[in-house]
Structure 1
Amino acid sequence: MNFTKKALAELPAPEEGRTTVYDTVVNGLLIRITTKGTKSFEVRKSVKGNSQRIVLGRFPNLTVQQAREKALAELAQIATTHKTSNQVKEEKRKHDGLTLAKAFDDYLKSHHNLKKLTVSDYQRCMSVGFADWQDKPLVKITRDMVETRHRERTEKSAARANNEMRVLRSIFNYAMEEYLDSEGRAIITANPVNRLSHSNAWNKPNRRKTIIKPDDLPAWYEAVNTLPEWYGGKLAYRARVYFLLCLFNGYRRTECSAALWENINLKERTILLIDTKNGMNHELPLTTYTHQILSEWRDMGGCSTGLVFRGTDNTTPLTHVEKVKEAITERTGIEWAMHDLRRTFATTAEKEGIGGYTLKRLINHKTGAGDVTGGYIVTDIDSLREPMQTITDKLLTLTSVTIQPSKTVTHG
């Protein structure tokens, strides 16, 4: 039937079921009539072998001309995308529901083996760097937005801006493989953070190369060693041993704060850190000095299990020591960072002639995949006792502390 207002108005209602009448002008346009006389325009079209029905509106509220225009638009939509407008709307609804917050939550659930400190760092990046993007759909986070946000965050801290964008990049890489549409195609087809590489916009912060200079070590050591006397409070006792162990064992701060009494053998004079930054356990011998300070700390605290360095809540690792550090700087005039202690340890070892492979073992650096020789060298705990004691003795000498002449320590 050639749809006209008069012809459609005269169509009778069926006694049962529904009557379907097709338009002869627009192929696929039809009108359906119910037993109550309700008349609705529809488009019926096969999409990928499946018959699809799209309701356009009711007659006479929707005129014949309007129905034909809507039908042609729908048919064009199907021809170009192989999807109906209803399917497109449903996909858009799903895409809009795929927010940055949801993708991040899914990412953490998928990467359940991440270390707690890594998760905490990622959460900080999201809450600080992208607080206003949490409810934003991933599909609406553009390259320009990323470049602008990176530039804004760089004004605060170049290193942190880079770190935040690396986290965002990881989330998008995950989303590109994780989220698919009804046809199995990726919803997220590009990573907007790649704009930073394309435009060479990544910051190139200078890596810190500072140590506690030999001339500063006596004042620094005196301030740290007497923390309980001049700073006071329980935190002073904890921070004293914590800072000294980071220096004399060359530890990373987070790994030292996670040390457990169960992994310290004072009789055998060994200390073991579990699941360190490189994914490996790290065992070192205790020297005369580190054995002494840990023994005294254990006796003072009355603990032989759990965390060696507890936070103020006594249940989590000690991490918040910035105020103590600032107090030491104010007292001595020495500007220093926690990682300076590790660099001071390594620098002292190098100056004392500790071999490269031994030093890597002491500071828990992996031997590179291309280093064939390093792969054949196996260093047991006893072979590390003399170099560890050598480094300890030199550091104590630099701090003007009187030490015993013998450098070697036997265990037992």
Structure 2
Amino acid sequence: MAHKLTKSLVDSIPNPDSGQMFYRDTELKGFGLRVGTGSKVYFAEGKVNNKTVRVTIGHHGVFTAEQARQQAKNILGMIAGGINPNDADKAKRAKSVTLQQVFDAYLKARNSLKPRTVYDYSRFMKTYFEEWQNKPLADITKDLIERKHRQIGERSEAQANLAMRFMRAIFNFAIGQYEDSEGNPIISDNPIKRLSQTRSWYRVDRRQTVIKAHELPAWFKAVNALPETSNGINRHAVKDYLLLLIFTGLRREEALGLRWEYVDLKAKTLTVPDPKNRQPHTLPLSDFLFDLLKARYEQNQGQSLFVFPGSGAKGYMDDPGKQMKKVIEASGVSFTPHDLRRTFITIAESLDISAYALKRLANHKMANDVTAGYIIGDAERLRAPMQRITDYLLAAMNA
């Protein structure tokens, strides 16, 4: 319908019972009103590259007819110049999106990230990028990245690299997520490239620390002699947790979060259903591990779903850092939970256990190994190697 759009005319137009009605202004071509069941909205429309472009101006009542007409003139001027106002507005919004907003969108899109990964990323945001959280991502330049990397590196070169790998992922996500109507990225370049172009990444050698054979007796003695704690963590739980790590090579969270439903005392196996590489990991229990877990099961008496229960929100024991420090002090052997995994793998390799069995025991991916793809992973085939590792450890510990 064609009318000169005035306040009195727009006020008099009834709302339809269903659908929408369009009223186009007779004085300004491209200016119109869309009337729905409960709304009256001004718009401007024209063609850019032979495609019709419609731009919403706003609701009648918020805008008067004359205010909307003036806005329409500005919009139609852009269209006449070959500019799609929707693209311009989208680009403006995208360029103003903040680091925190992109991070929130990233977590929502990557909803399969492990809780530990989400925790680490959130820690990076709070620890290293707090002053950037409300900064538009487009304003984070290569120079800012280079200075921030150097600043973090003064405290920890490894953390500086990790923090920038996190930022690289955020920028790559933004490049793919925020586009104009032509599909062109609003943020076209990842500023983290500067670190590669200037060879600024820190060279951080992989940790190689293990508990050496001659250190195992003192470590084992200190673990078994752990005193009772005042923070509610049972010393026997800490002892069994540390022993489980070194006798299985499990990662810290895999052991802490182990549920009884994944411990099969009849088949003498344990399973980590969702490990780091997303491939369920089943290990046979050596005689020592079977006795350890059987004793814990009998003590548990169905009280907890977890092998190492705790009073925290997760339901299982918190990382026993303080108790580990006591072991270090008593034994003189410095170690981390991952050092126990490295110790397990190193001992397995020293016993000439086959490469395929070793990878299965450690649950390392073999995606690029064609031969490995034909080998069926059966826990029973790992039972003998597992027992050999256990026997070596017990002998070295003078257990």
Cα distance in structure 2, aligned partners of 1:196 and 1:300: 54
Write out per-residue CA displacement over residues 190-235 of structure 1, whole angstroms, 9 at most, x where no aligned residue: 1111111111111121111111011111111111122245889534
- Write out aligned runs for 1:108-147 (5 A): 108-147=107-146
User: Any gaps of 5 or more consecutive residues in structure 2?
Assistant: 1-7, 10-24, 28-45, 56-76
Residue 298 (1) aligns with residue 297 (2): yes
CA distance in 1, matches of 2:131, 2:185: 25
User: TM-score, normalised to structure 1's length?
Assistant: 0.74
Letter in structure 1 aligned against 2:139: K
Structure 2 CA distance, aligned partners of 1:311 and 1:146? Answer: 41
**Counterpart residue type for residue 169 of structure 2:** S
| Equivalent position of 2:394 in the other structure | 396
Between the aligned partners of 2:101 and 2:313, the Cα distance in structure 1 is 33
Counterpart position of 1:387: 385
What letter matches 2:375 in structure 1?
I
Aligned to 1:313: 312
Q: Secondary structure at the match of 2:214?
A: coil
Matched, 1:272 2:259: no
- Where does residue 338 of structure 2 map in the other structure? 339
Is the counterpart of residue 167 in structure 1 residue 169 in structure 2? no
Amino acid at match of 1:399: M
Which residue matches 2:177?
178
Q: Work out the CA distance in 1 between the residues paired with 2:132 and 2:363.
A: 38
3-state SS in 2 of match to 1:234? coil
The answer on whether the counterparts of 1:262 and 1:305 sit within 8 Å (CA) in structure 2 is no
Paired position in structure 1 for 2:215: 216
C-alpha spacing 1:122/1:310, structure 2 compared with 1 (3 Å) = farther
Report the Cα distance in structure 1 between the residues aligned to 2:53 and 2:232, rounded to whole angstroms.
Answer: 77
Give per-residue Cα distances to partners, 1:150-172, cap 9 Å, x unaligned.
Answer: 11111121111111111111111
What is the CA-CA distance between 1:134 and the residue it aligns to?
A: 0.6
AA at the equivalent of 1:373: T
Aligned counterparts of 2:341 and 2:185: Cα–Cα separation in 1: 45
The answer to whether the aligner puts 1:248 opposite 2:214 as a matched pair is no
Q: Report the RMSD for the aligned CA atoms in angstroms.
A: 3.2
- Aligned residue pairs total 341
Residue deviations 1:44-80 (CA, integer Å, cap 9, x gap)? x986568999xxxxxxxxxxxxxxxxxxxxx9x999x
Whether the aligned pair in 2 keeps the contact of 1:311 and 1:320 (CA below 8 Å) is: no
Q: 1:51 to 1:242 in 2, by over 3 A?
A: closer
Which residue of 2 is the match for residue 26 of structure 1?
none
Kept in 2: contact 1:287–1:389 (CA 8 A): yes
Unaligned runs of 5+ in 1: 1-15, 21-44, 54-74, 402-412
Pair 287,136 (structure 1): closer, same or farther in 2 beyond 3 Å:
same
Residue 279 of structure 1 deviates from its aligned partner by 1.1
Residue 353 of structure 1: aligned partner = 352
Matched, 1:373 2:346: no
Q: Hey, what's the Cα distance between the residues in 2 that align with 1:52 and 1:355?
A: 67
Amino acid at match of 2:383: R
Match of 1:188 in 2: 187
* Residues 316, 131 of structure 1: alpha-carbon distance in 2 compared, 3 angstrom cutoff: farther
Note the C-alpha offset of 1:135.
0.4
CA positional deviation for 1:109: 0.6
CA distance in 2, matches of 1:287, 1:272: 14
Give the letter aligned to residue 203 of structure 1: Y
The TM-score with structure 2 as length reference comes to 0.77
From the superposition, tell whether residues 311 and 51 of structure 1 become closer, same or farther in structure 2 (CA, over 3 Å).
closer
Closer/same/farther in 2, CA of residues 52 and 350 from structure 1, 3 Å limit: closer
- How far apart are the structure 2 equivalents of 1:316 and 1:142? 43
Letter in 2 for 1:102: Q
Residue 289 of structure 1: aligned partner: 288
**Would the aligned equivalents of 1:298 and 1:304 in 2 still touch at CA under 8 Å?**
no
Instruction: Give the drift of 1:185.
Output: 2.9
1:320–1:229 CA distance, 2 compared to 1 (3 A): closer
SS in 2 for 1:297: helix
Whose radius of gyration is greater, 1 or 2? 1
2: CA distance between counterparts of 1:82 and 1:91?
Answer: 16
Query: Relative to 1, partners in 2 of residues 1:368 and 1:93: Cα closer, same or farther, differing over 3 Å?
Result: closer
CA contact (8 A) 2:124 2:163 kept: yes
Q: Which moved more, 1:153-162 or 1:135-144?
A: 153-162
For 2:275, what is the secondary structure of its paired residue?
Answer: coil
Residues in 1 aligned to 2:340 and 2:86: alpha-carbon distance in whole angstroms: 60
Which has the larger displacement, 248-257 or 390-399? 248-257
Judge conservation of contact 1:177–1:186 (CA < 8 Å) in 2. Answer: yes
Write out per-residue CA displacement over residues 243-270 of structure 1, whole angstroms, 9 at most, x where no aligned residue. 1000001111122122111010112211
Listed one character per residue, the Cα deviations across residues 308-362 of structure 1 (whole Å, up to 9, x for unaligned) are 2234416344342221111211122211111111111112112222111111111
1:322 corresponds in structure 2 to 321
Q: How far off is 1:286 after superposition? A: 0.8
| Percent identical | 40
Partner of 1:309: helix, strand, or coil? coil
